[in-house]
Amino acid sequence: MHSHDSPTQGDPNPDRAVGDWPGEFSYCPMCSHPLKSRLVGSKPRPSCESCGFVHFRNPGVGAAVVLWDECGRLLLVRRGPHATRSGLWSIPAGFVDYGEDVRSGAARELLEETGLVATIGDPAWVATNTHDPAKITVGIWFTGELVGGTLAAGDDADDVGWFDLNELPPLAFDTDKAYIASLGR
Ligand SMILES: [Zn+2]
């Protein structure tokens, strides 16, 4: 990764208060009492006056796997009808489950979306994804080494293929574009 071009990925409103993002809880998930905004650690956070629950909202974690074929082409999936940015292409990725190891999540998502099995290596890129303000994530793009499987689109993907960087299909996410641009080729 090149530290000099570490990206900020277009935070739609960096001054927005912690409790003022879309998709926030209205009721306490522990006791169902209505939540109120309260200053906790110098920031307003949805808080429960009944049981003391405070919603420290954190980004989800998305894990992507970067695979190249012997011709130097990049593996991409087309996002299916039920995925965000349907019909556009992205590097295979998905949400890491709670309690799941981040590399296991990356390998699982790759297998589900592409049918391919890879060993997961070092991170190649890290970025905050704000394309859905109701579900902000931190994305980690891992390098992968193909070890098996049969190429077939599945899960959220309805097509999969290898692409020359000079002939990329329309991409869904600015963060994928930023990573690809960082490769400088
Ligand atoms: Zn409560």
Distance 49 CA to ligand 1 centre (A): 7
What whole-number distance in Å separates Cα of residue 163 and Cα of residue 12?
30
Can you tell me which residue has the tokens 């690809």? 180
Q: How many Å lie between the centroid of ligand 1 and the Cα of residue 101?
A: 30
For residues 182 and 180, give the distance between their C-alpha atoms in angstroms, rounded to a whole number. Answer: 5
The CATH homologous superfamily for domain 60-182 is Nucleoside Triphosphate Pyrophosphohydrolase (3.90.79.10)
22 Cα–ligand 1 center, Å: 20
Helix (H) or strand (E) holding 175, with range, is: helix 174-182
Q: pLDDT tens digits, residue range 84-97?
A: 889 999 999 999 99
Digit-coded pLDDT (tens) for 36-84: 988 988 888 899 999 999 998 899 999 999 999 999 999 999 998 888 8
Q: Which residues surround ligand 1, an ion (CB under 5 A)?
A: 28, 30-31, 33, 48, 50-51, 53
Dihedral, 63, 68, 69, 75 alpha carbons, nearest 10? 50
Residues of the chain with CATH 3.90.79.10: 60-182
Q: How far is CA 59 from CA 6, 83, 88, 114, 140, in A?
A: 19, 19, 23, 25, 12
pTM: 0.83
